[in-house]
Structure formats: C-alpha cells, structure tokens
Structure 1
Amino acid sequence: MPVFSDDSSSDWEDPDCVPRPVVTLGAVGREMDSRKERDFHQHRKGQFLLWMRGVLTCEVDGGFWLVPPGSAIWVPGGTQHRMDGAGTVDCYVVYVDPAVGDALPRECCTLSTTPLLRELVIRSAALPMRYEEGGMASRVMTLLLDEMALAQPGQVHLPLTTDKRLRKLVEWIMARPSDPGNIESWAQRMGISARTLSRLVSRETGMSFGRWRRQLHILLALQWMARGATVQHVAEGLGYENASNFVVMFRKILGETPGRYLKSNA
C-alpha cells in the first residue's frame, strides 16, 4: 500500500503474505511519504485503493490515473506501478488474492464507488488481518468482493507512452497548463510537423491531440479542486477565458458539472 511517514508498527504484516483471500488496511489522518512510492514496484495480490481524502496519482506502463476523493483504483496483482501523493490522507487498501479475483478487471483502472461499497471497505478494515475464516468476517469479505466486481470503470485516465517526445510534451503542458498553444505551436516546439504530432498522439494513446490534452486538463482540474481550488481559479489556471467554458469542457468529458461530479464522489 502507499507508504506513510509513521509506518513503523512492529505488528504490521505484509498483506501479500497473509493467508487470507481478502485483507483490508486503512490509514485515516495519516501523512503520506510520497518519496518512498516513486519507484515502480508490484504486489502479488491485487490492490483496490479507496481514496477518501487527498489526491493520489498512479502510473503503470502505458497509463496515468488520478484518484480524487471518493473514488478508487484497481491495480491487478503483478502489475508494475508507482504511486504519488502528499499531505494528510484518508484511504483504504483492499488486497485481493488472484485466486478469488476473477470477476475483477484484468487491467488497471479507476472505479466509481457506491455508499455501500465504501462502507464495506471501511468495515472490513476494522477486521484483524488474520480474521477467523468461515464466520461473519468471511461473509463481509465475500460481499465486498461482489460489490467491487459491480463497480463501474471511471474516466479519469490519461493514456501515456514510452515515446520520449510525448513524455516531454506532458511535462511541458503540466508545467504551463494555461499555455493556449495549439497543435501547430506544440509541434513546432518539438521540432516536428503538426501532422506528425497528430499521428503520434493517435497511435500511442488512441485519442486525438485535442481530446488527449483535454483529458490532461481534467486530471489537473480534479487535483486542484480536491485541494480546495474554486472553479474560477481552475479555469484561469488552465487558460480558459471564463469559468463557463471550462464547465462545458468538463461536462463534455465526465458528463457532469464539476460541482455535481465532486458531490457525487464525496
């Protein structure tokens, strides 16, 4: 799970080694030490991370996800990934043995959550890691698995690539998200033609340049709003002429206004 600044308890046990099909750990009001999670690593068991406060980012080969408060991410066992976050967080991590995770997604993805799913995760975190099998605890975990399998994939995902040119472009856009440059100006900075950049983005991400850039803006917007930024400030930070234009873009991508989206995921 993500590493926290005070993870030094002597009774802590590696969930990968606990002989239970499902194990949940919780961390409420804890300081996340992102420096310890920046290297790629993997776990034998799959991880379902429910983020209740703070913002988490997760990168796997070919993809970048942002997990806003109230949402979750699924990382299948054996998947090389790295996580990043900072500050005080409330989160829960459900470890799922591959032997019982057949109904869960085969690839990394964000997942929407329901009140029932969130409460089951919180309840399961109160159980001992080596809970007694065959009783109520096992039934809670079985129901939790069923609810996790019903969770719908989210859309807060930015396809990434190993292409060094696109990696550099991501760094440029994130450093100056309000830059109004179009595909022609970005291509010029990269020393290639706009047509080449368009084909490169399409081939590597499956998106048009415009859609891919808007998706990156969505990730940044959710990150800023989760930290308390207003819609007006986010719109200005992303270079929109006014908040209304930003709201239109947000609703086009996620199907809801920023306010409704944050409320539904609270």
Structure 2
Amino acid sequence: MISKSGQSARRRRPCSVDFDPDPDRLGRPAVALDVDFSDYEAEVPRHQHRQGQLILALHGAVTCTAANGLWIVPPDCGVWIPGGVPHSNQVTSNARLSYLFVEPDAAALPQECCTLSVSPMLREMILRLADQPGGYTSDDHVGRLVRVLLDELALMPKEGLELPVSSHPKIAAIAAALTAEPGDRRTLAEWADHVAMSERSLKRLMVQETGLTFGRWRRQLHLVIALRELAGGATVQRVSSDLGYESVTAFIVMFKKALGTTPARYFAMRPAGLAR
C-alpha cells in the first residue's frame, strides 16, 4: 500500500500563519509567495480565497482537491483555482511551492480549476515576484513584470492531470477504497457486488458521475498517484508494484500512453523534477 506522501514525522505549523499581510487584502494585480513545506504542515485544510490562486510545484508535488476534482501538480506545473472555489491541498514531504494570487479580472484566466504547464520563463518571473519585498505600482519595474507575467500565464496550455471525483455515496466508497489500496484489481463486476448494484447500473453511474468509464477512471487514479509518488522520491519499481502492475514495463506503457513519454523522461524534462 502506498503511504500518504505528504505525511511527515515532524508536524509543523500551518503555512497560512506566516502569510502577513494576507495576499487577499493587498489589492495588487498579483502577489507571489515561496513556501518550503519542510517548515509547515503537509496538509492545508479546505479553504478559499477571494483572489484566484496558482499553486506551482518547484520541487516535490501537491495534490489539490477542489470543484469535484482532484489535481496532481508535479514539478513545473501549476494548478489554477479561480477565486471563491473551496479547496484543500496535500503535499509531499519534500515539497517546495510558489503561490501566485491573482486579482479577479486581472488576466484572462480559466473560469474552472485546471492544471497548467508552466514555462521556465514564467516560473522565473513568479520566483522573482516572490522575492520582491513591499508593494509596487503599475508603472515601476515590478508592475511591468507583473503585466508580462499575467499575459504569459494566460497563454499556458492545460495538462490532463485531473481525476474527477463524485459525492455519490457508492462512487465515493469505491474511490476511497481504491485511493487507500490503489493496487486493488477487483473488476467492475466485483465492485458492483461490493456496493450492492448490478454491473450494468454501476457502469452507467460511473460515467454519469465522473464522465469516465471505470477502467479509464482507475487508470487516471493510478496516473495521479504515480506522479505524486515519483515526484516525492519513490522509484518506478516501487510505484509499479504498489499500484498492482504485473511488471515495471506494464506500468511504463500505461504512463507513456497517458503522458506521451516514460516516467524518467517526463521528470528529466522538468528542471525541478526527479528522473528515477
């Protein structure tokens, strides 16, 4: 069974206690913060912001739950959360994140939660903004940097790293069981028996609630978990075994089919990533 990667033997304080002043109250077009989670608790409970928020993984990974979906944020990707959307985060023990808070209507950003690819240039601009003390005006150097940063952010492509979740009790029960034991290889018929439904009814309900067939949903769950664990430092061999694949090759085939490359190359292409 895969352990929850965000759990650390050393419990720390919530990261929000050091957000002084609160970015939500500053009224600037964008504010960035750099957070090293070796200093903070690995779980950020459900909360929301007036501003939109980009959660950028510089190292390690973060899993964000929001708006009937679960998003994995591996190195050099970010999850975009529009303002007012309740969400919670779980980070790996080695995580270092940047938070970018964006004022409503400051940029043409998505109206729904999504994972965005983040270019090296945009990443460096966010880090530069996080290093700037004090305020800025629209016409000074930092203000001009923010305008370009927001223009670039609006151009970033989406990545398919979402796992749809459902509040339906039977689907939620299956999701909870598979999240706890992702190597469980029970068939749809066996799960239907487990939740006291016919296979046909469960098949229809799964598509209705998540938009995916059971097989595709479970593969997406495996992908989300694999990205989180690999970014947290686990080996391909361990992740493959814990997810119940018969061989490392079979796991790599699944990964490549989903993301177009092998795990080693996927993380090697990301400067902050880990090539296992």
Q: Report 1:50-69 matches (<5 A).
A: 50-69=56-75
Question: Which residue of structure 2 aligns with residue 26 of structure 1?
Answer: 34
Structure 1 ranges of 4+ moved more than 3 A:
3-9
Q: Report deviation, 1:56.
A: 1.1
Q: Report the counterpart of residue 195 of structure 2 in structure 1.
A: 190
Does 2:73 align with 1:71?
Answer: no
Structure 1 residue 86: Cα displacement? 4.9
Q: Distance in 1 between matches of 2:214 and 2:15?
A: 42
Q: What residue ranges of structure 2 are gaps of 5+ in the alignment?
A: 1-11
1:257 to 252, 258, 262: 262
- Give TM-score scaled by structure 2 length: 0.88
CA offset at residue 5 of structure 1? 4.4
Query: Does 1:150 find its partner at 2:155?
Result: yes
Post-superposition offset of 1:85 = 2.2
Mapping of residues 217-256 of structure 1, within 5 Å: 217-256=222-261
User: Is the 8 Å Cα contact of residues 31 and 89 (structure 1) preserved in structure 2?
Assistant: no
Say whether residues 1:139 and 2:144 are aligned partners.
yes
- The residue type paired with residue 67 of structure 2 is D
Contact 1:34 1:86 in 2 (8 A): yes
Out of 180, 197, 210, the position equivalent to 1:175 is 180
**What is the DSSP-based 3-state SS (H/G/I as helix, E as strand, rest coil) of the residue aligned with 1:91?**
strand
Q: Deviations over 1:124-178 (max 9, x none)?
A: 1111242233111011101110111111111111001110111111111122211
Distance 1:86 1:257, change over 3 A: closer
Match of 1:96 in 2: 102
Percent identical residues: 39
Once the two structures are overlaid, the 10-residue window that deviates more, 24-33 or 49-58, is: 24-33
RMSD: 1.8
Whole-angstrom CA distance in 2 between matches of 1:125 and 1:4: 21
Output the CA distance in 1 between the equivalents of 2:251 and 2:134: 45
Distance 2:92 2:231 in 1: 12
Which amino acid in structure 2 is aligned with residue 26 of structure 1? D
Question: Residues 4 and 122 (structure 1 numbering): CA distance in 2 closer, same or farther, change over 3 Å?
Answer: farther
Give 5+ residue unaligned stretches, structure 1.
Answer: none
**TM-score of the two chains, using structure 1 as the length reference:** 0.92
2:207 paired with 1:202: yes
Residue 49 of structure 1: SS of its match in structure 2?
Answer: strand
Separation in structure 1 between the aligned mates of residue 89 and residue 134 of structure 2, nearest angstrom: 23
